[in-house]
Structures are given as structure tokens and as C-alpha cells.
Structure 1
Amino acid sequence: MASHTPYSVILTCAEDQQRFIVHAVDQTRIATVTAGQLEMPILLDSFDYRLDDEFARRLGVAMLNLIALGQPDVRQYIPVMQEPIDKPLQT
């Protein structure tokens, strides 16, 4: 597996092009752009340090909701369940 320097991921909705664009940007370059901007910490201990399917689903829903705040027309394409999905009891 290739090794990379630490990077941040930027998700952009290019509504006029009907697509999302994902960029991987060196963390040292992104620090100046994100200074003073909205920050939404996601505490891993709240998820028992499990980056499982439910974590990924909830992270994705949060990203889509945040994009829709700035681009309300996108909301019509987001029919996802906002609440966590109940997990079946393990026996």
C-alpha cells in the first residue's frame, strides 16, 4: 500500500455540474483556509472508536446536510433517514 503524507478531504457539491468533487489536500495547506470557519468535531469515543457502517452512514448524512445548508436546492436529493439506525440485539 502506498504511503501518503497526512491530508484532509474536501467535499464540494458542484450543483451546476450535477456532481460532487472530492479533493485530498495536504493538511499544512488547508490550515489557513479552515481558520475561523465552522468546525464540527466528531468525537470517536462517542462511537466506541468503531468506524463501522453506521458511523459512515451518519458521517455521510451530516456532510449532505451541511452542504444543503449552503446549497438548499440540493435538499430535494437527500431522502435519507436522519436518525441512527437501530442495530439488532446481539445474542
Structure 2
Amino acid sequence: MAKNSPYSMVLTYTEDPQQLIMQAVDSVRLAPLLGGIMEVPFFVDDQEFKFDDELARQLGVAMLNVIALSRPDLKQYLTVTQHPIDRPSKE
């Protein structure tokens, strides 16, 4: 099995046509472009964290909020819950 280089994901919104475009970029090639650019940390340092539906939802909400910072007209379309959604009890 071939080993891939580590990827970074770039999410871009275009107006014509209105769409979100995801691009997988070789992290090594992207690194020189990232110096001095705004970072939005998304901490997953809890030893018991899992890449589950709620984490994916929160990550998506964070990404859309950042895109909307530079495109205020998009804010009207964001009808997402901004805080973590309560999970059912495990009992």
C-alpha cells in the first residue's frame, strides 16, 4: 500500500456558483504559505476524545463561522447551533 504525504484541508466558499470547495493539499507544500496567517485552534487534547459526530459538527460550525467573518452576507444562512449539543446520558 502506498503511503500518502500528510494532507491539510482547505475549505473555500465561492459566490459564482455558490458552493463550498474542499481541497486536500500536501501539508509540506502548504506550510510556507501559512506564516503569519490567522490560526483558529481546535483543541483535541483530551485523552478520551473521539472523532465522532459531535466533534465533526463543532468543527464544521467553526469553519463556517470563520468563512463568514470575511463574507458577512453568509451569516444570514448560518442556522447552526453554536454550542455543543447535549448528548443523551450513557446510563
The TM-score normalised by the length of structure 2 is: 0.90
Question: Which residue in 2 is equivalent to 1:60?
Answer: 60
DSSP 3-state at the match of 2:30? helix
Contact 1:7–1:25 (CA<8 Å) still a contact in 2? yes
Asked if 1:48 is matched to 2:48, the reply is yes
Which structure 2 residue ranges, 5 or more long, are not aligned? none
16-25 vs 1-10, which moves further: 1-10
Aligned length, in residue pairs:
91
DSSP 3-state at the match of 2:45? helix
Contact 1:47–1:55 (CA<8 Å) still a contact in 2? no
Q: Which has the higher helix share?
A: 1
| Distance in structure 1 (CA, Å) of the matches to 2:60 and 2:83 | 12
Contact 1:15–1:74 (CA<8 Å) still a contact in 2? no
| Distance in structure 2 (CA, Å) of the matches to 1:15 and 1:78 | 16
Question: Which residue in 2 is equivalent to 1:33?
Answer: 33
Which consecutive segments of 4 or more residues in structure 1 shift more than 3 A? none
Which structure 1 residue ranges, 5 or more long, are not aligned? none
